[in-house]
Structure 1
Amino acid sequence: MLYIICALKSEAQAFVDKYKLSKNKQNSQVTLIVSGIGTENMFEATSNIVNSMSKSDTIINVGICGGDKKFKIGQLIDAFEENLTCLDYEVTYSGKYELADMESEGFLRATQNIKNRYIFKVVSDHFEPQMVTKEKTKSLIFNVIDDINNKINFKADN
C-alpha cells in the first residue's frame, strides 16, 4: 500500500484525479490523507497511519514549499536530498532559507522508524505565499506525480 499524506486539499486533489480515488480517498493500492496545515497536524495524521502500516508499505509526504530563486517554480524537491527547513509560519522573504515548508518535521518525527518513507515538495513560489492559489497548487502537484512514482518505484494499476 502507498500512503500519501498532504497538508492541503488542493495538494491531495491532484492524487484523487490521477488515481481516480473514491470519495474515501483510497483504492486497492493508494490511501490518501489530508492532515491539515502545520507540524502537529502532520504528526498526528502520520502517526495514525504508521500504526497500521506493514513493513512493505510506503508512506510519502507530498506538498508545496517556498524556495529561493535558484529553484524553479514547479521543481520537484526530495527533502532527503535538499536543505528543507520546516517552520510554523509562512516565509515572505528570501535570503534566510533555501526551501521552507510547514509540515515536514511532523512527518519525520512520526516516521522515524519507517524504512520506506519519503518527502517530496514542489516549489510553489519564491517566498511569496500570496501568489499561490488552489488551482496552481493542484496543477504543480499533478505535474510531478509520475516523477514521484518513478523515484519510489510505484506502479499504479490503471
Structure 2
Amino acid sequence: MEILDLPPSQASRLVPLLQELHALHVEHQPARYPAAPSDAALEQWLQGWLQEDAITALIAESPQGALLGYTIFGIEHRPPLPIRFEETRVMVHHIATAKAFRRMGVGQALLTAVKQRAEAEDVGTIATTYAPFNSASAGLFEGLGLQPVVTMAEWRA
C-alpha cells in the first residue's frame, strides 16, 4: 500500500467511497443529510474543495492502483480569543476505507500520514468530528490518541 497526494483533477476517484460514507450518514440521520447526491455533483464539489490551498486529500492505493481509502484534511489557523488560546491545527474532515479493505490498517496508515504532515508543519494538534453512530471512526481516532473534548447536540423540527 502506498499513501499518495490526490490532485483535485482526480477527485472523481473518491466519489464511490464518498457515496458509501454519505449513505451511512443518511441512514442514521436522514433529517440532516440529503439522500443520493449525484456523482457529478459530488465530483464538482470535491474538485472545488480540493483546490483550496489549505485542503489536502491523501489516498491509500494498492500496488495494482486500486483505491483502498482516502482522507481529506486541512490546516486551520484559529486566532486567540478571550476564552480560547490561539492554535493551528490539522482538521480531518473525511476518512473512508473501501469495504473489502476495512480492518487491514488502511485508515491507520492514512491517519499516520496526516500526523506526519502535521509534525512536518510543526502543528501539534489534530482534530476531527465523527457521528455517534460511527463507532469505526471513533475507534480509529481513539486508537491514534485522539480523545473527545466536545459534544455537539442538535434539535431539528
What TM-score, normalized to structure 1? Answer: 0.32
Tell which structure's C-alpha radius of gyration is larger: 2
Which of 1 and 2 has higher RCO (CA within 8 Å, sep 6+)? Answer: 1
What TM-score, normalized to structure 2? Answer: 0.32
